[in-house]
């Protein structure tokens, strides 16, 4: 089983076919960065058309059982998430509506301070806000997973402790391996995993040691060390693959509507576009390289199976269902 904990590709029939060639059974797809509720509904609508056009390649994923159905029918299950709480606007009642539409993950912040928590690019981390505490409770109730991938340290630790259900960092790496602002310190990863949460390893070059030149062995050795430190059952892949996106999309990701200035965050001022992916993971057809790489650093078949999809499947099964 192969499950990718996050991608933001420029979706097309070509990529849908590559998902099948790579044997990817499910993928968490970002459908909102800074969109309002109505704009996010239009993105759901766009995906509904793709499900109609390519029913032999993809299907809508809402529950873990949909991954099993996708595997049985040779398709990829598509699960939806937001990298910002903007789709709920300032209305806690929209959380249940968004879950009903098919959302399964929502980040409490995207780099900046939000109504809910502090982002990883803020100079001060004030933690989870009053509204954030109420939103966490509501997300727990309806089965919308709390994602802290772009959140600051204190906010992430508080979210893990406050949440009545496990949370996720869907796409990041350890800070001590690659010191990017978006990567997570050990106490943050420990707070997430000790509370039963999931940590997805990112292949986005700005999160990697030596960036685009990171080797498969370096990446897989890092995963093996994290398995020893935090437990194999809490780890997965969240590639953060942004395949075929034009460089102009970086401006939408980083700038959104909150500033008139250019703010490329993790990008370089000299090259504000997307960095080159490592040679061993160009697109979804390269998932086999991850499997071989993890085996190459001494992981057992059971451990490789857990990291490449089994852990995410178990997490989905436990956390997408509303609480009674």
What DSSP assignment string belongs to 152-195? -HHHHHHHHHH-SS--EEEEE-BTTTS--TTSB-HHHHHHHHHT
Instruction: Look at residue 264 in the predicted model and tell me its pLDDT.
Output: 60
Residues 6+ apart with CB under 8 A from 177: 183, 209, 222
Hunting for tokens 């803020």 — which residue is that? 122
pLDDT in tens, 187-243: 999 999 999 999 999 999 999 999 999 999 999 999 999 999 999 999 999 999 999
Instruction: Look at residue 186 in the predicted model and tell me its pLDDT.
Output: 98
Say yes or no to pLDDT of 255 above 60.
yes
Say yes or no to pLDDT of 251 above 90.
no
Domains of the chain: residue spans and CATH: 3-319 (3.20.20.140)
Query: What mean pLDDT comes out for the span 145-165?
Result: 98
Instruction: Look at residue 77 in the predicted model and tell me its pLDDT.
Output: 98
Q: Do residues 28 and 81 lie in contact, with contact meaning Cβ atoms separated by under 8 Å?
A: yes
Q: What is the pTM of this model?
A: 0.95
Q: Do residues 30 and 81 lie in contact, with contact meaning Cβ atoms separated by under 8 Å?
A: yes
Instruction: Look at residue 253 in the predicted model and tell me its pLDDT.
Output: 87
pLDDT in tens, 269-307: 455 688 999 999 999 999 999 999 999 999 999 999 999
Counting beta carbons within 10 angstroms of the beta carbon of residue 204, is it exposed (0 to 12), middle (13 to 18) or buried (19 or more)?
buried
Distance of alpha carbon 306 from alpha carbon 191, whole angstroms: 20
Distance of alpha carbon 62 from alpha carbon 40, whole angstroms: 17
Distances (CA, A) of 305 to 8, 19, 166: 24, 18, 21
Say yes or no to pLDDT of 324 above 80.
no
Instruction: Look at residue 265 in the predicted model and tell me its pLDDT.
Output: 60
Mean pLDDT taken over the chain: 96
Hunting for tokens 């969240």 — which residue is that? 238
pLDDT in tens, 259-270: 888 766 655 445
pLDDT in tens, 60-110: 999 999 999 999 999 999 999 999 999 999 999 999 999 999 999 999 999
Distances (CA, A) of 228 to 62, 196, 235, 299: 32, 16, 11, 11
Instruction: Look at residue 196 in the predicted model and tell me its pLDDT.
Output: 98
Q: Is 92 helix (H, G, I), strand (E, B) or coil?
A: coil
Instruction: Look at residue 266 in the predicted model and tell me its pLDDT.
Output: 55
Instruction: Look at residue 272 in the predicted model and tell me its pLDDT.
Output: 67
Q: Does 254 or 89 have the greater pLDDT score?
A: 89
Task: Grade residue 252 by pLDDT with cuts at 50, 70 and 90.
Answer: confident
Counting beta carbons within 10 angstroms of the beta carbon of residue 6, is it exposed (0 to 12), middle (13 to 18) or buried (19 or more)?
buried
């Amino acid at each position: 089983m192969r499950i990718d904990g996050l991608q933001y590709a420029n979706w097309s029939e070509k990529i849908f076919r590559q998902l099948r060639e790579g044997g990817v059974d499910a993928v968490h797809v970002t459908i909102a960065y800074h969109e309002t509720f109505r704009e996010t509904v239009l993105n759901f609508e766009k995906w509904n058309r793709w499900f109609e056009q390519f029913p032999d390649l993809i299907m809508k994923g809402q529950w873990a059982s949909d991954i099993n159905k996708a595997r049985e029918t040779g398709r990829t299950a598509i699960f939806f998430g937001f990298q910002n709480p903007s789709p709920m606007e300032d209305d806690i009642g929209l959380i249940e509506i968004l879950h009903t539409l098919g959302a399964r993950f929502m980040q409490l912040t995207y780099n900046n301070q939000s109504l809910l928590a502090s982002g990883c690019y803020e100079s001060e981390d004030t933690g989870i806000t009053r509204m954030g505490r109420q939103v966490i409770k509501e997300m727990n109730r309806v089965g919308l997973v709390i994602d802290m991938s772009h959140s600051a340290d204190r906010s992430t630790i508080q979210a893990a402790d406050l949440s009545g259900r496990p949370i996720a960092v869907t796409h990041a790496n350890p800070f001590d391996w690659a010191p990017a602002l978006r990567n997570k310190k050990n106490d943050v990863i420990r707070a997430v995993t000790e509370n039963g949460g999931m940590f997805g390893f990112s292949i986005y070059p700005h999160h990697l040691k030596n960036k685009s030149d990171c080797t498969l062995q370096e990446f897989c050795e890092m995963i093996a060390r994290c398995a020893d430190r935090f437990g194999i059952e809490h780890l997965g892949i969240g590639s953060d693959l942004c395949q075929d996106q034009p460089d102009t999309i970086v401006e939408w990701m980083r700038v959104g509507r909150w500033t008139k200035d250019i703010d490329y965050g993790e990008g370089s001022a000299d090259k504000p576009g997307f960095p080159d992916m490592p040679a061993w993971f160009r697109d979804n057809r390269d998932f086999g390289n991850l499997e071989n790489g993890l085996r190459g650093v001494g992981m057992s078949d059971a451990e490789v199976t857990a990291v490449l999809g089994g852990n995410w499947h178990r997490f989905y099964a436990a956390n997408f269902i509303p609480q009674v």
